Amino acid sequence: MKVTVHRKAHFNAAHRLYNADWTDARNAHVFGKCANPNYHGHNYELIVAVRGEIHPETGFVMDMKVLKHLIETEIEAVFDHKNLNEEVPVFKTLNPTAENIAVVIWNILRPHIEEVLELSVTLYETPRNFVSYSGA
């Protein structure tokens, strides 16, 4: 019997969507306002889901205090109130789309969570636009 536990988190960050191999015109055409050279911000909502068997001794799939702390130290501290393009090294060369941010978050968290547990990350860039990644 597997159960999924979810933890919600939040961070504000600025980004610019841009492909350095393209002309400004093509960037503007594909990314629209998100290609603005002066950046713009989003209120990102993050949901981290961990799925697995309930541990017989604790009754937990994963201790939510541990998951909360993990998200605070590994994600919020790194992303919150940051310019993703300029201040988060991975996005120097990776376009900080919601898709890529979700994959980066998953890759950061995965080694910190027991291998037997499944991990899924859902990231809302706006209340209506969100992406999810579960690895592979």
102 binds Ni ion (CB under 5 A): no
Of 36 and 132, which has the nearer Cβ to Ni ion?
Answer: 36
Smallest CA-to-CA distance from 90 within 72, 80, 103 is with: 103
121 binds Ni ion (CB under 5 A): no
13 binds Ni ion (CB under 5 A): no
**Annotated catalytic residue 34:** yes
Long-range contacts for 95-101 (Cβ within 8 Å, ≥24 apart)? 95/17, 95/18, 95/19, 96/15, 96/16, 96/17, 97/17, 98/123, 98/125, 98/129, 98/130, 98/131, 99/131, 99/133, 101/44
Residues 23-52 that bind Ni ion (CB under 5 A): 34
**Minimum distance from residue 41 beta carbon to Ni ion (Å):** 8
Of 62 and 101, which has the nearer Cβ to Ni ion?
Answer: 101
Residues classed as catalytic: 34, 81, 125
Contact positions vs Ni ion (CB under 5 A): 34
